[in-house]
């Protein structure tokens, strides 16, 4: 039987493998630093858990396989410059921006984008790393080493952040999870909650936007679209051509989770509309030690990534799914986590219907 290789062996690769096991599929995440010769066969399939990678012994073998799904799309979306150009070309609303070139000035940024401008590195940024604020009030200048390597984006005064996770099959059929409400603190995702009735009014607008993109790229698999909600409008913040942290709640809260859907799509297996179960919420474990006492909390599902704990590092997540909302409220009151978690848990409690 053919093997499904995953470029990257982090938590997303592990969860792809876990989701594919009941389907009887052989999924093998590959550490990009591996020096092994991979036993690739012509009819194997290759996917990725990350949108960019350095050229290594492992990635060279995978990236030259003829069944690497979406291979041409990764560089288009991994570079914020070309990603923004795609959004503009497809007339999809996004935060106003311009490329930061060698002759770009902060003055120009303030004139065209306003008094607060966010510089984002074109490549490699995640969890809010690779961002730099320009503030007119402080007379901030563009650092020399950001010129040619960043885009400048208008500061968006959004009401809240939502994301849409969808899957597209080889013949173009598409299915979407309900919009997820997300809380980022200092640029990193702390908590998600879905589904929320009050977001239903935005669902079809969001689906149309992500459909346009997936169709234009002839994309196969799961893609995530992060948005700012401003009143009834959505502005695309960024896209991820892979399974996404804001879709982790689907492991507990949907008949088919995002990981299984991605595997099904790239393996050419049937897709079907997903049944969404009850109310879900997700809490990322960021820089906190593993605590098995969490397991005493009703409704809690623990995912621990077995990574070294470091400040600001995602080391696991907690899923909750329940019909009875008092179970969720109780779980939140029982979770004892350090700052800034009280803010995240209060936010979840407030947003539970």
- Residues lying near ligand ATP in the complex (CB under 6 A) are found at 95, 118, 120, 125-130, 153-156, 161, 184, 187, 226, 237-238
Computed over its alpha carbons, how large is the radius of gyration of the chain?
20
- What does 128 interact with, of ligand ATP, Mg ion, none (CB < 5 to 8 A by kind)? ligand ATP
If phi > 0 it is left, if psi is from -120 to 50 it is alpha, else beta; for residue 91 that is left
Taking the least distance from each CB to ligand ATP, the nearer of 92 and 267 is 92
Instruction: Give the angle 230-233-238 at the CA atoms, nearest 5°.
Output: 80
φ and ψ of 190, to 5 deg:
-100, -40
- What does 13 interact with, of ligand ATP, Mg ion, none (CB < 5 to 8 A by kind)? none
Residues with Cβ within 8 Å of 156's Cβ and at least 6 positions away in sequence, in order, are 95, 228, 230, 235, 237
Q: How far is the CB of 246 from ligand ATP (least distance, A)?
A: 8
Taking the least distance from each CB to Mg ion, the nearer of 79 and 334 is 79
Q: Which of residues 206-235 bind Mg ion (CB under 5 A)?
A: 226
| Contact (Cβ atoms closer than 8 angstroms) between residue 332 and residue 181 | no
Which 8-state DSSP code applies to residue 278? Answer: S
Taking the least distance from each CB to Mg ion, the nearer of 114 and 125 is 125
Please give the helix or strand (H or E) that residue 151 lies within, else none.
strand 150-154
Q: How far is the CB of 67 from ligand ATP (least distance, A)?
A: 27
Which 8-state DSSP code applies to residue 172? Answer: S
- What does 284 interact with, of ligand ATP, Mg ion, none (CB < 5 to 8 A by kind)? none
Residue 4 pairs with which residues in a beta bridge? 27, 45
- What does 90 interact with, of Mg ion, ligand ATP, none (CB < 5 to 8 A by kind)? none
Taking the least distance from each CB to ligand ATP, the nearer of 12 and 256 is 12
Q: How far is the CB of 205 from ligand ATP (least distance, A)?
A: 19
- What does 155 interact with, of ligand ATP, Mg ion, none (CB < 5 to 8 A by kind)? ligand ATP
Taking the least distance from each CB to ligand ATP, the nearer of 116 and 264 is 116
Q: How deeply is 44 buried, as exposed, middle or buried, from its count of CB atoms within 10 A (0-12, 13-18, 19+)?
A: buried
Please state, in angstroms and rounded to a whole number, the distance separating the CA atoms of residues 181 and 161: 6
- What does 174 interact with, of ligand ATP, Mg ion, none (CB < 5 to 8 A by kind)? none
Q: How far is the CB of 240 from Mg ion (least distance, A)?
A: 6
Residue of 184, 181, 245 whose CA lies nearest to 49: 245
Binding mask 230-259 toward Mg ion (x if CB under 5 A, else -) reads --------x---------------------
Q: Where does this chain bind Mg ion (CB under 5 A)?
A: 226, 238
């Amino acid at each position: 039987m053919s093997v499904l290789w995953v470029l990257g062996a982090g938590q997303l690769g592990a969860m792809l493998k876990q989701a594919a096991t009941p389907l009887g599929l052989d999924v093998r995440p590959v550490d990009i630093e591996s020096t092994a010769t991979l036993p690739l066969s012509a009819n194997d399939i290759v996917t990725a858990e990350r949108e960019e990678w350095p050229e290594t012994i492992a990635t060279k073998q995978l990236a030259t396989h003829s069944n690497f799904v979406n291979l041409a799309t990764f560089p288009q979306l991994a570079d914020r410059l070309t990603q923004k150009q795609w959004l503009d070309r497809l007339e999809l609303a996004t935060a106003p921006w311009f490329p930061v070139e060698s002759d770009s000035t902060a003055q120009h940024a303030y004139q065209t984008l306003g008094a607060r401008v966010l510089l984002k590195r074109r490549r490699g940024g995640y969890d809010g790393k690779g961002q730099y604020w320009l503030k007119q009030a402080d007379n901030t200048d563009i650092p020399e080493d950001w010129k040619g390597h960043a885009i400048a984006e208008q500061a968006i005064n959004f009401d809240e952040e939502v994301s849409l996770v969808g899957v597209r099959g080889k013949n173009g059929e598409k299915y979407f999870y309900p919009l997820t409400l997300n809380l980022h603190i200092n640029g990193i995702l702390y908590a998600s909650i879905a589904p929320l009735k009050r977001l239903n009014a935005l669902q079809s607008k969001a689906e149309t936007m992500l459909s346009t993109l997936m169709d234009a790229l002839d994309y196969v698999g799961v893609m995530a679209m992060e948005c700012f909600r401003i009143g009834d409008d959505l502005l695309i913040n960024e896209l991820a051509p892979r399974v996404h942290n804001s879709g982790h709640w689907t492991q507990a809260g949907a008949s088919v989770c995002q990981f299984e859907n991605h595997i099904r799509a790239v393996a050419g297996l049937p897709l079907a509309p997903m049944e969404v179960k009850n109310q879900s919420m997700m809490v990322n474990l960021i820089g906190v030690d593993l605590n098995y006492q969490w397991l005493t909390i009703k409704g809690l599902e623990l995912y621990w990534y077995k990574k070294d704990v470091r400040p600001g590092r995602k080391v696991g997540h907690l899923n909750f799914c329940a019909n009875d909302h008092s179970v969720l409220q109780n779980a939140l009151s029982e979770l004892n986590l350090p700052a800034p978690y009280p803010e995240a848990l209060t936010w979840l409690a407030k947003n539970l219907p």
